[in-house]
């Protein structure tokens, strides 16, 4: 399995949606970390684990751009089969991300 710990691999303070809106955006996370690691997981036929714990919070726009944007970018209907989201700090975020992915796939 391949693991992304956002607090260690990106930042403890995620920002907004787009790069031009400020530091540590969902777009930057998707482009530099999430998308490459997702593609690596597919190539290796492994599960990608994304750990949200240890951050100071997530803007809806960050999560939608990162995960919904990944779906729009790759047009992959099986993303939720290959990614597992972990959040003990805020378990509701997992459901939120799943809904962003499902909306992006429509």
From first to last of its 106 residues, the chain has per-residue pLDDT tens of 999 999 999 999 999 999 999 999 999 999 999 999 999 999 999 999 999 999 999 999 999 999 999 999 998 888 999 999 999 999 999 999 999 999 998 8
What domain range includes position 10?
Answer: 2-105
Give the pTM.
Answer: 0.95
Q: What is the DSSP letter of 89?
A: S
Number of domains in the chain: 1
Cβ burial, residue 14 (10 Å; 0-12/13-18/19+)? buried
């Amino acid at each position: 399995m391949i693991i992304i710990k956002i607090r260690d691999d990106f930042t403890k303070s995620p920002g907004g949606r787009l790069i031009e809106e400020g530091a540590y955006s969902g777009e930057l996370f998707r482009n530099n970390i999430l998308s490459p690691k997702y593609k690596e997981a597919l190539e290796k036929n492994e599960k990608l684990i994304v750990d949200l714990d240890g951050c100071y919070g997530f803007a809806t726009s960050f999560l939608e751009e990162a995960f919904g944007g990944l779906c729009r970018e790759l047009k992959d209907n099986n993303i939720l089969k290959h990614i597992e989201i972990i959040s003990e700090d805020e378990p509701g975020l997992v459901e939120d991300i799943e809904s962003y992915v499902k909306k992006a796939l429509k």
